[in-house]
Structure 1
Amino acid sequence: MAFKGKSKNASHLENLTLTVNEKILRECHNLYTEDKIGLISIAGDIDIHLLAPRKKITVLLIGNHSAGKSSFINWYVEEHIQRTGVAIETQGFTIVTSGRKRESLTGNATLHLYPHLEPLQNKPGVMDYVTTEITTSKQKKFNLVTFIDTPGLVDGDMKYPFDVNESILWLGKQIADRVFVFFDPIGQALCKRTLNIVEQLSEDHAEIMKFYLSKADEAGHESDRQRVMMQIVQELCKRPNLNRTGFDMPTIYIPSMGKTSKCVNQIEDVCKEIDKTINTTIQNTLNKLEKDCTDISTKIDTLIEEDNAACSYNLRAKGKGFMYASVGSILPLLLFGNFLAIALPKESLEAALGVTGAEALAKYTVSVTRYFTAFLQRG
């Protein structure tokens, strides 16, 4: 009992610390997943398949190796979660999310936490390189964000232990609410593998993609940065799916206490983009909740109408059956009356039915006798 009391108190304290956005997403999720009375359970009873909305948005980070993806996650979380460096530090997919305690999960445990990632099992070798890092950080809006750090992309003879292109494309198309593409200015920004993946994602999901020139403070003077950006933009514009109006590529870098730079740092715009995505996701979740409730209500009304129509049909069928049974029972009675009229003496019939009754019986059974005799003769 004491344990249950502590658990309830901890849950109550946790609810008090939740933001409004967290409460909305959590309550919407619970409306779907609650046992027996949740929307998923109700919809399943009437053959409607629903998926529960996620409690957090998912941000996918793409870029060549040493583009600053892991460094950005560490800066946003304000903890050293991901290894950083010039070498290829991230060789697989790392999911970074917030939780009650610090944990590191491998592929199978990750699938238990994120069942919507199960299709990755169909891609050979991927699950051996999927890990999850859970941290207790509550910095910025991290409690509403899940980052997916992807392997650093390189050209040439570099071989990956799985189909990295196909895996990133699947995550971008099926899982991510927002895709951040980091281009670094140190000669790797024009990595063809990165550009190919970005172009394929842009075919149908251009609206969720944002481009950033990372490590902008390492690009030298302003003229050097402008030249790098022009080269990147020119390369992107060569590809039809990326050549669109309103193209924007803010310059960002990780701020350092002991280092100053004249380069404009727009890293806060990345945070604003995440905040915007959270608000959009909440609106979409509420819209989906309304639509799913309407679909369930409409289906229930349709089933009720069909049931009422079936009941009316059954009632009419029973009425017809009763009528046919009543009509069918007359013939045996007539045959029985005909038998009495023939088999019993006239005096007995008059004694039992009276003279009038006996005459009426004889009158009405004559036709039956005639038809029955004709039937026997034909047979």
Structure 2
Amino acid sequence: MPHFICRQRKRYAEEHIQKAGVAIETQGFTFVTSGRKRESLTGNATLHLYPHFRPILEFKGAMDYLTAEISTSKQKKFSLVTFVDTPGLVDGDMVYPFDVNAAITWLGEQADLVFVFFDPMGQALCKRTLNIVEKLSETSGDKLRFYLSKADEAGKDTDRQRVMMQIVQELCRRPGLNKCGFDMPTIYIPNPQKPSRCVNQIDVVCETIEKTINQAVQKTLDQLEKDCDLICSTISSRLEQDRADVTHNKSVRLHSFLCGALGIFLPALFILSFIVNTFSQEQLDELLGEGPSRTLFVFTGIIMYIWDWIPEDGQVLFVIVFGAFCYLLLFLAKYFAGRGNKTLTKKEKRTMAEYSDYIQDIVKTKKGNLYDWYLQQCAAESDF
């Protein structure tokens, strides 16, 4: 749903929701949206209604100045719009209970449109307002729309032109706002008791809103397709990475097993050689049988041959080096055992595959149907 920061809603919703006047009417943020029942919500309820705006809690104190007005109006496309009424801004010693500049800037970045209304009777050119507008123009310049509100109260045509020239001059002094293609329609709420000859372009505001709604539908459908592709590619990459991790884990487990087996087998064989050397061949044949005893005698014989080959004064050093080598093998076994990567369980892989199939078969198909349905409302039947 598009979100707009602005300070005019009566004309669009055809209902009195917020006060309008020369004085600063609000110190907080008011969300104006469509609903089944006319209701006013406080800060906590507002964030339950708009959970994606919870980051505003980072601005200490803003929670207490957050409200929502739910209207039952069915005018135009009001059900597809959420307006955000921002605090009135003044210069001087005015103290706000929260960082109003940062809060408005953050909300402006979230909105689809930012309406800036210059009030000829109020504080339109206050430094605080222009600072925020200039800040928003750096990141959201394409969202900004400028209007001269309450244009019928600006006096004669010459007075109105003078006011607009003052506003344009003030904007041109700021590099961030001095851009070509500047437009500032004059708008006001018609009063039958006070007819005015001033051109009222308030319908332009409504057209801008509805055009943005239509563009938001297209952007949402396009973004849905991108998100589907991103999710599917992420799942595919994750499953491919999991297969690589499984292969890697098999390799490190094999290394761990070989190092561990050698780390245990070699010292065991070394000790066993000395034990077997105390028995004669006949005794081994009686204990183990002729075949196993001969095999054992060959292996232990090799160890004893190497041992006898080592000089007596070097045998202690050999035992130390041999023990260190076996310890190194056990250390490597433990090291390789800890080098394995975490892999997905069968349930996780099945779930991810189901998600991918659901997106490909259901979500993308529904997105295509929605796009066709949307275009059928815009284009001629002969185009389909």
Mapped partners of 1:125, 1:322: distance in 2? 61
Structure 1 residue 73 displacement after superposition:
0.9
Mapped partners of 1:145, 1:289: distance in 2? 20
Structure 1 residue 323 displacement after superposition:
7.0
Mapped partners of 1:165, 1:363: distance in 2? 88
Mapped partners of 1:277, 1:125: distance in 2? 32
Give 1:12's aligned residue.
none
1:241 aligns with 2:179: no
Q: How does 1:168-207 map to 2 (within 5 A)?
A: 168-173=104-109, 175-186=110-121, 188-207=123-142
1:95 aligns with 2:31: yes
Give 1:25's aligned residue.
none
| Structure 1 counterpart SS, 2:211 | helix
On the 8 A contact 2:22/2:121 being kept in 1, the answer is: no
| Structure 2 counterpart SS, 1:86 | coil
1:145 aligns with 2:75: no
Among residues 125, 133, 138, which one is paired with 2:61 in the alignment? Answer: 125
| Structure 2 counterpart SS, 1:242 | coil
1:222 aligns with 2:157: yes
| Structure 1 counterpart SS, 2:176 | helix
On the 8 A contact 1:341/1:361 being kept in 2, the answer is: no
Matched residues, number = 309
Among residues 191, 206, 211, which one is paired with 1:271 in the alignment? Answer: 206
Among residues 16, 25, 44, which one is paired with 1:80 in the alignment? Answer: 16
1:343 aligns with 2:274: no
Instruction: Choose 156-165 or 245-254, whichever is displaced more.
Output: 156-165
- Calculate the TM-score normalised by the size of structure 2: 0.67
Structure 1 residue 369 displacement after superposition:
5.1
Mapped partners of 1:193, 1:364: distance in 2? 91
Give 2:4's aligned residue.
59
Superposition CA RMSD, Å:
3.7
1:261–1:321 distance in 2 versus 1, CA, 3 Å: closer
On the 8 A contact 2:115/2:147 being kept in 1, the answer is: yes
Mapped partners of 2:56, 2:132: distance in 1? 17
Structure 1 residue 359 displacement after superposition:
10
Give unmatched runs, 5+ long, in structure 2. 317-384
Mapped partners of 2:264, 2:99: distance in 1? 77
On the 8 A contact 2:149/2:187 being kept in 1, the answer is: yes
Amino acid at match of 1:59: F
Give 2:226's aligned residue.
291
On the 8 A contact 1:341/1:362 being kept in 2, the answer is: no
Mapped partners of 1:187, 1:102: distance in 2? 30
Structure 1 residue 360 displacement after superposition:
10
1:154 aligns with 2:154: no
Structure 1 residue 251 displacement after superposition:
1.1
Structure 1 residue 299 displacement after superposition:
2.9
1:300–1:254 distance in 2 versus 1, CA, 3 Å: same
Give 1:47's aligned residue.
none
User: Which whole-Å deviations, capped at 9, do the CAs of 1:207-244 have from their partners, x for residues lacking one?
Assistant: 11000011222223333322221121111111111111
Give 2:45's aligned residue.
109
User: Which whole-Å deviations, capped at 9, do the CAs of 1:322-378 have from their partners, x for residues lacking one?
Assistant: 778599979959969x869942189x79xx869xx9999998986565335446953
On the 8 A contact 1:57/1:145 being kept in 2, the answer is: yes
On the 8 A contact 1:79/1:137 being kept in 2, the answer is: yes
On the 8 A contact 2:34/2:70 being kept in 1, the answer is: yes
1:340–1:102 distance in 2 versus 1, CA, 3 Å: same
Mapped partners of 2:294, 2:122: distance in 1? 121
1:255–1:328 distance in 2 versus 1, CA, 3 Å: same
| Structure 1 counterpart SS, 2:19 | coil
Identity fraction in percent? 56
1:369–1:294 distance in 2 versus 1, CA, 3 Å: same
Amino acid at match of 1:251: T
Structure 1 residue 128 displacement after superposition:
2.0
| Structure 1 counterpart SS, 2:108 | helix
| Structure 1 counterpart SS, 2:30 | strand
Mapped partners of 1:128, 1:360: distance in 2? 87
Structure 1 residue 96 displacement after superposition:
0.7
Q: How does 1:23-34 map to 2 (within 5 A)?
A: none
- Calculate the TM-score normalised by the size of structure 1: 0.68
User: Which whole-Å deviations, capped at 9, do the CAs of 1:139-162 have from their partners, x for residues lacking one?
Assistant: 111111111112222334444444
1:376–1:276 distance in 2 versus 1, CA, 3 Å: farther
Mapped partners of 1:166, 1:358: distance in 2? 86
Mapped partners of 1:98, 1:255: distance in 2? 23
Mapped partners of 1:314, 1:192: distance in 2? 63
On the 8 A contact 2:89/2:123 being kept in 1, the answer is: no
1:364–1:236 distance in 2 versus 1, CA, 3 Å: closer
1:342–1:140 distance in 2 versus 1, CA, 3 Å: same
